[in-house]
Amino acid sequence: MTQDQDQQETRGWAAPVTTAVLVLADGTVIEGFGLGAIGEAVGEVCFNTAMTGYEEILTDPSYAGQIVTFTFPHIGNVGTNEEDIETISLAASSGVRGTVVHAPITDPSNYRATRHLDQWLKSRGIIGLSGIDTRALTIRIREQGMPNAVIAHSPDGIFDLPALKAKAAQWPGLEGMDLVPMVTTAQRFTWDETVWDNARGYGRQTDPKFHVVAIDYGVKRNILRLLADAGCAVTVVPATTSAAEILALAPDGVFLSNGPGDPAATGAYAVPVIKDLIDRKIPTFGICLGHQMLALAIGAKTIKMHQGHHGANHPVMDFTTDKVEIVSMNHGFAVDRDTLPKFARETHRSLFDGSNCGIALEDRPVFSVQHHPEASPGPRDSHYLFRRFVEMMESVKQAKTVG
């Protein structure tokens, strides 16, 4: 239970005081109870259908600029810890603007919990709102699209609603917005942490077979862990790193990470680099924003989605295996398959709405997917993609040796 709700219980039969609001750009005001940080923030409201993983979601840099509404009503019941954070920096915010939940947050009930979700949100500067009908908000988003909005938390319940309405209406939205600078690393670093094991925790890669340069557009920690677990020494570089700087690191492969915002906006500086690298036939693997910008680099286009894909229960067809995977999704933009060039083959497609979820190039060792294989909702349906990347690097390496 939040501190605001604790205070309201002492008022006896008095009507509870609204301590948080979500003000949509069309002027709609949704009232509830505040949790987390105090203040206000503007962003795009989306909904996420995952039943677990709220800490990973709220620290996923791909959510920068967004207010996440959870459709599952009981968020916070397992608390938080310092091991499930997805941002590179344990202390930094992922860029998420706020979160909306239905039920009051209960005390954590999990042996790994170190903090209550309310305290954790405060520490990371994330504003929360509880006590609203999240099903109604979700239906609204499905019918009318993802709205711009301001989320505000004030323990005294005093809000300047006209000012909040104006702020929400004036915010330009994510289309055309480059949010990568707020989440990318400031300097190059190496990564060797491998995946979690209940007996030992996270491990270390001590005998890598390949060197991968990961371009950080907002990379998640578990992506880097799976690369390391697959036998890679990983060097993470900032989003603005030039092709020459990447080539100087002599990579066996290049990874294009996930990230937030409009791929076309970030692509202004990222696409020329990606094009140079794939034209040199360096093995390349992209996820999410990396997938979208790879598509831009080969001449395709991206489009803004109506409600986006956010959840851990999305069925995707892999045409390379003729199998259906259950995957994790988090994106508000998509690759327009009708604009793909002839040398790009569609490898994955969403079975929810038919949107493109993967491509591979016929003439270069390059592929990408829209979904998040590292998130393990299947639980390991999509881990083969990391093995596919390693096999691709091995094949290119052997070809060079024979040549």
The residues assigned a catalytic role are 288, 372, 374
Instruction: Kindly state the tokens that stand for 141.
Output: 């988003």
Report in angstroms the alpha-carbon separations of 47 from 35, 94, 210, 332, 401: 18, 17, 38, 11, 49
Q: Each residue of 198-222: b (16+ CB within 10 Å) or e?
A: eeeeeeebeebebbbbbbbbbbbbb
Report in angstroms the alpha-carbon separations of 98 from 226, 243, 264, 396: 29, 35, 25, 44
The CA R_g of the chain, rounded to the nearest whole Å, is: 21
Let me know: does 24 contact 45? Beta carbons within 8 Å: yes
Report in angstroms the alpha-carbon separations of 283 from 218, 363, 396: 21, 11, 8
Q: What are phi and psi of 266, to 5 degrees?
A: -65, -30
Three-state DSSP at 35 gives: strand
The Cα 371–Cα 33 span in angstroms is 33
The Cα 74–Cα 401 span in angstroms is 55
The Cα 223–Cα 70 span in angstroms is 23
